[in-house]
Structure 1
């Protein structure tokens, strides 16, 4: 149906409902439906910054990054000081590994909304991309200061510590996260991985068992438990976990590598070669 002949008041009313419906479509991960509604809303009311921003966010979520940038640009022409649009554009630049531009957007956004956690986290991610790790840690510490009662705040800094191979510090942060939420599966899984890295296998196994008990499809926990079981001499149990992890995620590169090593140790070289070949294909396109 052609709605181009609507009065201005009717066009505004229809566009408002379309924007609202798009928000619900987006929440249900029906991004293309949301984009269709927002495209019509923009055609009806081209000067609505929110519609451009929402459509940009939909494009970002489905990795149409250039389309997202184009929409955020239009949104920011209409509302140059929108912290939300700046932060979302920063996230898009980060996904494209354009870290300097991302950082510029995040810093601008933080002058407008200095205590917004997701923007601070975006800034930390951009700093990591630029290998400015100490600055990234400082940003995560600020997030904790603002939200010390939120398990994710501690978890996120723990992940950064772990990526820096600072396992004791990571374990401390995961433990703080788990004190706030004892059933936080991701924190249990990551603490289990960190414990494995410093050869505390019994403690690692306890964490990973609990994570899998809470969420049997926790792919990363299954892979990590497989590695722990292998270190403890239980190759049969290790292969069972790694098989399950790979069945859940056919692109789990690390699991293919670990399973290949175990198969090699068991003199199952054809299967090991297949796993190493798959890992190389996934990581390097071989």
Structure 2
């Protein structure tokens, strides 16, 4: 945490600016280590010493955003933008804050403004695409993801992000192709393997799905989503006992995994284990309703 000083007025202007600069730099390292409360403490002191530094307000706003103190984040980004109105970074981060609060129209305004200043900013384009998905403007979101890929085809994550959107749109062949591109860039990308396995399952390509999910779980044995998907695949292949082992493990890792309860309930029902099936379906309904 910041050491603090009792009386800033004791410092000369030069000394205050120097200390504020070091505090901002230390805060950036705290942020890199996800120690956001420590970063906020340093930045609060830095702002007291040098209140006209837009970077300090922006950095503190970003820390507030990451730890979900959204109102505080909005205040800080607003001050950063008062001092530096054309900061694409502050606009993009404020847009992310608005999006997290469900204020999607305001988020889109900030993203659009930010992209007039930095049209090739991948993270802002991605944040805009996410907001478009939340607004159910899926074709527009798809166009944003395609633009991101056109700017840098070597980023595995960008292919996965578009693949996820294709999968949401039930365009499984296109999703499988995008996950394949991601795996060309990074053959051990667990998310791409897991998500391609799920898309292959939805396309009834069970043996291929099983191969992807097995590899994902070799790389990350505690991946609850891959376990859940493999459980569903094993059930389709007639291995209900193997499926139950995977689904049990997935639920142990994530006790709120609604889909896993539903799939396990269906398998238990097929096995005439109806009391257990009812328990799983009841749990799924409670989780769905937020109870």
Q: Per the shorter chain, which TM-score range?
A: over 0.9
Of 122, 130, 137, the match for 2:127 = 122
Gaps of 5+ in 2: none
d(CA) in 2 for partners of 1:99, 1:162: 23
Of 55, 76, 79, the match for 2:81 = 76
d(CA) in 2 for partners of 1:196, 1:89: 38
- Alignment map for 1:122-141 (pairs within 5 Å): 122-141=127-146
Residue in structure 2 matched with residue 144 of structure 1 by the alignment: 149
RMSD: 1.5
Residue in structure 2 matched with residue 42 of structure 1 by the alignment: 47
Counterpart of 2:38 in 1: which secondary structure? helix
Residue in structure 1 matched with residue 24 of structure 2 by the alignment: 19
Q: Deviations over 1:149-181 (max 9, x none)?
A: 211121111111011111111011111111121
Q: CA deviation at 1:261?
A: 2.2
Deviates more, 1:211-220 or 1:107-116: 211-220
Residues 9 and 180 of structure 1: is their aligned pair in 2 closer, same or farther, counting only changes over 3 Å? Answer: same
d(CA) in 1 for partners of 2:156, 2:42: 36
Q: CA deviation at 1:277?
A: 3.1
d(CA) in 1 for partners of 2:66, 2:212: 32
Of 62, 65, 81, the match for 2:70 = 65
d(CA) in 2 for partners of 1:275, 1:92: 36
Residue in structure 2 matched with residue 2 of structure 1 by the alignment: 6
Query: 1:51 aligned to 2:67?
Result: no
Which of structure 1's runs of 4+ aligned residues deviate more than 6 A?
none
Q: Deviations over 1:39-86 (max 9, x none)?
A: 121122111111111111111111121211111111111111100000
Aligned residues: 286
Residue in structure 2 matched with residue 281 of structure 1 by the alignment: 286
Q: CA deviation at 1:188?
A: 0.5
Q: CA deviation at 1:122?
A: 0.9
TM-score under structure 2 length normalisation: 0.94
d(CA) in 1 for partners of 2:276, 2:22: 56
d(CA) in 1 for partners of 2:287, 2:6: 47
d(CA) in 1 for partners of 2:261, 2:44: 42
Of 246, 252, 261, the match for 2:251 = 246
Gaps of 5+ in 1: none
d(CA) in 1 for partners of 2:18, 2:265: 60
Residues 259 and 81 of structure 1: is their aligned pair in 2 closer, same or farther, counting only changes over 3 Å? Answer: same
Of 268, 271, 281, the match for 1:263 = 268
Residue in structure 2 matched with residue 162 of structure 1 by the alignment: 167
Counterpart of 1:2 in 2: which secondary structure? coil
